[in-house]
Amino acid sequence: MTSSSRISSGWQRWWRGWQHFDWSLLLVTTALTLFASVVIASTQFSQETTPYGWNHIALGLIGVGLALGLARVRYDLFLQWQWVIYALVNASLLAVIFIGTSGLGAQRWITIFGFNVQPSEFAKVGLIITLAANLQGQRSITLLSMIRVLAIAGVPWALVFLQPDLGTSLVFGAITLGMLYWANVNPGWLVMMISPLVAAIIFHFSIPIWLVWSVGMGLIAWFTLPWRLFSTVTVTAVNLISGKLGEVFWGLLKEYQKDRLILFLDPDKDPLGGGYHLIQSRIAIGAGQLWGRGLHQGTQTQLNFIPEQHTDFIFSAVGEEWGFVGAIAVLAAYWFICLRLVLIAQNAKDNFGSLLAIGVFSMLIFQVVINIGMTIGLAPVTGIPLPWMSYGRSALVTNFLAVGLVESVANHRSRFRSFRD
């Protein structure tokens, strides 16, 4: 064999490690990251600050490398390490409480070698792996197994909520619900899971509707739960008392968290306080019109009307400087990413891989909907970043790790299989 043949054979063996790699998924996420770096740099154009745009590119390249490396690893190996991963997740979240670094009214970071690392971001991927491992062996979810899954998710959820980080705790809830649904849990149980929260909200708006809702949940319990009479009475009672409990839990929230949750309904009530971000964001997006004002030309963006715009409110900069066309392009990219995740979940060779892909899908689509919703005034401000777009080291690396995990599922599939068949 000639030297050129040996080199060619070596390259073929090397590239065989990505034989079924979904290159389109990685290319779109990488393109979003590069576009985000341009938008981030624009938000800082008129300020002498840290070069966030270049930092975003650098972290993105590291993330791409991690995704490529993770894709070569057989994802089923994580089954053996599920509890180690779960323990590390909770240990890191506990470390934040005791030795964490505070900022912006919360304690969410750990300083490692001079860099602030946010363990709650990496905990999302850890939770997805643990839940997938616990759900993958069951064709139908019993009530006891669902309670077990909720208990597993509840520990890191509580630790994140105590930081306090309301946004990330909501993401944990979305991941859990999405994965339970994909694992064929009874849909009525999922509705009953969130029913106390819905009842608490309805209670403050309409007592009659709250009563109807509580009775309706009791009927669902009658038809879906064992011990019909006991379950119906219990579920109905829980929803009836949720109104008062909602007031108790409301009192546990910080003032800025309360503002974020309610001011999106009418930000003009506090235009210089809690409603300021929402008002300025809507002005910026509306000013972009069809084609946008152009790079570095957005007045709201360049004059810093929206503080910290390079993080949670990056979409308002897209809307102002790139217009409706740019905003739609970003939405189309997210649509494509979500489509690929669902297709990979359907084509996974086993339940574990399918659940991993759906867990990542649940995490991403919830963050996209809430983040974009809050910038246009359709959702409360919860501090949830826009995947691959918002500046944030831990969040960006986490998103690429999640993509790498799904790419491993795609890369090691051997036959078509639909989890939901």
Q: Tell me the per-residue pLDDT of 325-376, one tens digit each, with 9 for 90 and over.
A: 999 999 999 999 999 999 999 999 899 999 999 999 999 999 999 999 988 8
Q: Which two tokens stand for residue 200?
A: 């608490």
Give the pLDDT confidence score for residue 142 in this predicted structure: 81
> Could you write out the three-class secondary structure of 5-26?
HHHHHHHHHHHHHHCCCCHHHH
Tell me the mean pLDDT in the region 88-102. 85
* For range 393-421, the mean pLDDT: 80
Given a cut of 50, whether residue 6 has pLDDT beyond it is yes
Residue 123: what pLDDT?
A: 94
Rounded to the nearest integer, the mean pLDDT of the chain is 85
The residue-averaged pLDDT of 374-393 equals 87
Residue 48 has pLDDT above 70, yes or no: no
For 154-195, the DSSP string reads HHHHHHHHTTT-HHHHHHHHHHHHHHHHHTT--HHHHHHHHH
Query: pLDDT value at position 7?
Result: 52
More confidently predicted of 227 and 243? 227
Q: Token pair of 271, please?
A: 């235009």
pLDDT tier at 26, thresholds 50, 70, 90: very high
Alpha-carbon gap, residue 71 to 356, rounded angstroms: 13
Q: Quote the percentage of the chain above a pLDDT of 90.
A: 43
**What confidence score (pLDDT) does residue 181 get?**
93
Q: 418: pLDDT confidence band, cut at 50, 70 and 90?
A: very low
Whether the predicted pLDDT of 299 surpasses 90: no
| pLDDT tops 70 at residue 226 | yes
Mean pLDDT of 1-14: 54
- The crossing angle, in degrees rounded to 10, of helices 351-375 and 314-347 is 160
Euclidean distance between CA atoms 231 and 76, whole angstroms: 38
**Spatial separation of the C-alpha atoms in residues 249 and 128, rounded to whole Å:** 27
In this structure, what are the phi and psi dihedrals at residue 108, rounded to the nearest 5 degrees?
-130, -5
| Confidence bin at 240 (pLDDT 50/70/90) | confident
Q: How far is CA 176 from CA 41, 79, 194, 370, in A?
A: 35, 18, 12, 17
Percent of the chain exceeding pLDDT 70 equals 86
Q: How many CB atoms lie within 10 A of CB 297?
A: 13
Say what the pLDDT of residue 18 is: 66
Give yes or no for a contact between 367 and 153, defined as CB atoms under 8 angstroms apart.
Answer: no
pLDDT digits (tens, 9 = 90+) for 123-151: 999 999 999 999 987 777 788 888 899 99
